[in-house]
Each structure stands twice: as C-alpha cells, then as structure tokens.
Amino acid sequence: MAVTGTAVAELLPQKTRRKTRVGLVAGGLGTYWPQFPGLLPQLQESSHFVSERFAEMDAEVIDAGFISDAQEGAAAGELLRVADCDLIVMFLTTYLTSSMVLPIAQRANTPVLVIDLQPTEKMDHANFDTGMWLAYCGQCPVPEVANVFRRAGIPFRSVSGYLRQESAWERIGQWVRAAHIRAALRHARHGLMGHVYPGMLDVSTDLTLLPATFGSHVEVVEFDDLRQRVEEVTEADVADRMALAREIFTLDDTVVEEDFAWGAKVSVGLDRLIDDFDLDSLAYYHRGLDGEQHERLGAGMILGASLLTARGIPTTGEYELRTTVAQLATQVVGAGGSFTEIQALNFEDDVVEMGHDGPAHLSVSARDPLLRGLGVYHGKRGWGVSVEFDVQHGPVTLLGLGQDQDGSLAFVASEGVVVPGPLLAIGNTTSRVDFGRDPGLWVDQWSQTGIGHHWSLAVGHRAADFKAAANLLGIDFRQV
C-alpha cells in the first residue's frame, strides 16, 4: 500500500540549502536618552521582543543591535554587508533621522523592509508625558525615510502596526517568505541537460539571464554524464529503489516490470548526478532515435525526477529551465509545485483541466500517487512508467516565469481552487481548477501575461508571497 503526506517526507528527506539570512537593526534618536531616561530601556525591550519573533521564523537572524546615531548606523550597515543578508529589517522604535538608516541600505546593497511597531494599540492620553509618547512615534520618520530612499534610488517597503498585532506580523512574515525565495534563487545551481524541445520557442532561455537577474548559476550537463552514472548502478541499488517506489506509489497493472526496473536504475543515477554537480534543479530533454541509449535514458526519467522533486529538487522535462525556477520558488515557501500546462476546458463545470505527463511533486497529491505504464509518451520518443494523481482539493496558486521582448523576466501568478470531478487516467497529474470565471476567458487573460507553455502548480493561495518575492528580486509581477 502506498503512503503519502508526512510519510513521503520521511522516506524522501528534503535537500538542505543555505539558510535564509535576515538582518535586523533597531534604532531611535540618541538625543532623547538623557532627556527621557525611561525611554531607551522601553524601546530596547520592544527591540528584544522583535528580535525574538524573528528568531522563531525559519531564517538565520543577524541582529545588528540598537543604533542611536548616524555613526552607529554606518557600523551596523557594514556588519550587515559582510553578513550577506537576503533581507534587512529596520525597526524604527521612535523618531530617528534618515541619515541613520540610509547608510545601512546603501552599504549592505540588500532589499530593506522598514517596520514601525508601537507598544500597544493606542496611547493612554490622559496619563502620558512626552517620553511616553515618543515610544509611540515610530511612524513619524516613515515618510522621511521613504522620501530619502526614493531620492537615493532605493526601493521602499514598510509595515506599520503595533508590537503584538498578528496581522502586522503576518505582513512581515510575507516579506520573510519572499526572502526565502530570493535566497534560494540567489544561490541556486540549475542543471540543464540535453537540448531544447524542437519547435518550442517559448522555452528557450538565455543562460546568462538567470545569473544576471537572480545571481543563480546554470550548470550545463550532458546525457552522457547521466549515462555513465547509470551504468555504475548495481542490481542491489535497483532493488532498493524499486522497494522505495513501492512504498510511495501504488503500481498500476499496466506497469511492466522491466520498465519499472529501468526507471529505478535511472533514478539512482539521477541522484548521483544531482549530488555530484550539487544541483538545486534540473531541466532536461533528449529526443533520441529507435530506442538508442540516450532515448531510453530520457524516457526513464519520470520516476527519478518525481522522487527528486518531492525532495525539493525540481526536475522537469522539455528543457523547461524557467519553470524549474518557478517550482523552486514555490517549493521553498512550503507550497510544493508540480510541472503543469493546460490540458482542456470544461465549459459545463467552468473549470480548467491542467497537469502534465512526467515528473510530479508528490507532496501535493490528493491521493496515493499512481505509477502507470505507458506504451508511448505523447509527443516524445520512448516508453515506460509515468506518475498519475490529482492535486489536493482546495486553494492553489499557479506561478510561472514570463519573458518580455527586452528579455526581462516576470513572475506571473493566478489563484484558483482545485475541485473534484472526472479526470483522465492516462499517466498524467491532472486537476480541475476553478478560477471563478469562464475558463475560456481565463485562458485568454493568462496567455496575455507573457507566461510560457508551463508553470508550477502550488498549494494554497500564495500570490501575495510571490508578489513580495518579485519585489525583492527586482522583477515585474503580474496576476490574473
């Protein structure tokens, strides 16, 4: 009997990546401290609370402490520059001058989030003096800082609220999740193996574009790199991988044992390729001819690619480098992300049927994933086993990377709901997605964004996270 959910996660441990680094600095105007002796201790207490909240987030927090003047601001900026943060958070505890915070943004050369969280929902007007009021004055310098950032050419972001306001912390958390995406893409090593799917002009990607846009590295590998590793896989390795697959998948009666064993052998070789090149993703395609070795390798990828994707290493066909980037973005915020395209429209139920043959993200499956034997892969050479399931019913978000005439990239997203209903049983991951409108209208609107043939289908409504990530990455964001 196959297993899903947490059991799959235990069987397929996630890839360990560099932890997201969030820099944190708090501050206020030092002139106040001798004037109002009780103010600084109160603000430092608030700063300690904020630091503890950030420590609870899934990130390494680089706390630069509390600054009181421009010189201390410059020193904090230097500390955070060396720390190579993915996001810097400036906590304005009371009024401070923009000269104290500008050097931090300039020297660190890192996206900055300004937060101002007053102690409680409101002041006790009848009992407050000037010193007590100043603890509530963190909002005062926000327009000043915004103006100076604009004049310095620095993007401005802010969250205003009070210290224990959970809705404010949710907005802050959104920026931290966006930082997870920026961190993953900045340090990612994307593998590209084989050649572009003939005729698919939309999937072709300039290899310089990803390092130039995100800081990622693209490693070009050969199918011969995989072939050599597959040749070294032993019968014992194959037996172990087949046993693992039987724990995770339900095997359909159409699965041919020989094809299953070949997929398992390729899977072990794939794991070794990923480890040897230290890859965070892999996009591949090879056409092949008459059953030669490279064609068999390309046709045997689906089992291993699905297992890798479930481990947080998106591995996708059709040479879709940009879609593996989108899948990595959805993966690192805990939303999964399965390789997807439009399959058909149902105008009676007002749903878009979408999915793909080939690699799938097992963590988003609504049921035990099925291995089905296919005598032919549509539009491709070869035969073997493929993965089939429906995505979990409920809210989902599509995320893809569009590209414009000038070559620039954009995050493109759309939120919908996966609903139950009849699905094709052809070895595809297929879902019925309701976007709340005529499905034909949705296709027209989606296609006009600059999206390509494929995208990542992730669980949950995550468009706000992806919009924030696009902001940190300095690319456009479009939502249908």
Burial state string for 117-153 with b = 16 or more CB within 10 A and e = fewer than 16: bbbeeeeeeeeeeebbebbbbbbebbeebbebbeeee
Residue 199 exposed, middle or buried by CB count within 10 Å (0-12, 13-18, 19+): exposed
Q: For residues 440 and 350, what is the distance between their CA atoms, to the nearest angstrom?
A: 9
Please give the residue that has the higher pLDDT: either 124 or 385: 124
**Over the stretch 203-235, which tens digit does the pLDDT of each residue have?**
887 889 999 999 999 999 999 999 999 999 999
pLDDT at 225: 95
**Over the stretch 320-361, which tens digit does the pLDDT of each residue have?**
999 999 999 999 998 888 888 888 999 999 999 988 766 667
- Portion of the chain with pLDDT greater than 70, in percent: 93
Place of tokens 């878009």: 352
User: Average pLDDT of 423-436?
Assistant: 80
pLDDT at 379: 47
Q: For residues 449 and 77, what is the distance between their CA atoms, to the nearest angstrom?
A: 38
Please give the residue that has the higher pLDDT: either 13 or 385: 13
Task: Name the token pair of 15.
Answer: 């890839």
**Over the stretch 48-104, which tens digit does the pLDDT of each residue have?**
999 989 988 889 999 999 999 999 999 999 999 999 999 999 999 999 999 999 999
Q: How far is CA 290 from CA 47, 225, 383, in A?
A: 67, 21, 12
Confidence class of residue 381 from pLDDT cuts 50, 70 and 90? very low
pLDDT at 377: 53
Q: Does residue 380 carry a pLDDT above 60?
A: no
User: Average pLDDT of 4-31?
Assistant: 83
**Over the stretch 91-111, which tens digit does the pLDDT of each residue have?**
999 999 999 999 999 988 899
Contact (CB, 8 A) for 385 and 259: yes
Q: Does residue 244 carry a pLDDT above 80?
A: yes
Task: Name the token pair of 440.
Answer: 């034909």
Confidence class of residue 441 from pLDDT cuts 50, 70 and 90? very high
Question: What angle separates helix 98-108 from helix 70-83, to the nearest 10 degrees?
Answer: 20
Q: Residues for the chain: how many in total?
A: 480
Q: Which amino acid is at 334?
A: G
pLDDT at 322: 92
Q: Which domains does the chain have, with CATH numbers?
A: 21-179 (3.40.50.10940), 188-479 (3.20.14)
Contact (CB, 8 A) for 78 and 127: no
pLDDT at 2: 46
Please state, rounded to an integer, the average pLDDT across all residues of the chain. Answer: 89
DSSP-H helix ranges across 23-160: 32-35, 39-55, 70-83, 98-108, 130-134, 142-152
- First-to-last alpha carbon distance for the chain, in angstroms, is 40
Q: For residues 18 and 86, what is the distance between their CA atoms, to the nearest angstrom?
A: 11
- Angle (nearest 5°) at CA 116 between 112 and 120: 155
Pair type for strands 409-419 and 394-403: antiparallel
Q: Does residue 158 carry a pLDDT above 60?
A: yes
pLDDT at 239: 96
pLDDT at 5: 52
Task: Name the token pair of 476.
Answer: 């456009």
- Angle (nearest 5°) at CA 82 between 77 and 87: 65
CB atoms within 10 A of CB 419: 14
**Over the stretch 461-474, which tens digit does the pLDDT of each residue have?**
999 999 999 999 99
Q: Does residue 383 carry a pLDDT above 60?
A: no
User: Average pLDDT of 24-37?
Assistant: 94
Question: What angle separates helix 235-248 from helix 302-310, to the nearest 10 degrees?
Answer: 60
Range scoring the smallest mean pLDDT among 109-118, 127-136, 143-152, 444-453 = 127-136
Q: For residues 107 and 111, what is the distance between their CA atoms, to the nearest angstrom?
A: 11
Confidence class of residue 1 from pLDDT cuts 50, 70 and 90? very low
Contact (CB, 8 A) for 387 and 379: no
DSSP assigned state of 93: -
- Angle (nearest 5°) at CA 318 between 313 and 321: 50
Cα Rg of the chain (Å, integer): 25
pLDDT at 197: 82
**Over the stretch 257-281, which tens digit does the pLDDT of each residue have?**
888 899 999 999 999 999 999 999 9
pLDDT at 294: 84
Contact (CB, 8 A) for 462 and 364: no
Please give the residue that has the higher pLDDT: either 426 or 476: 476
Q: Does residue 388 carry a pLDDT above 80?
A: no
CB atoms within 10 A of CB 215: 13
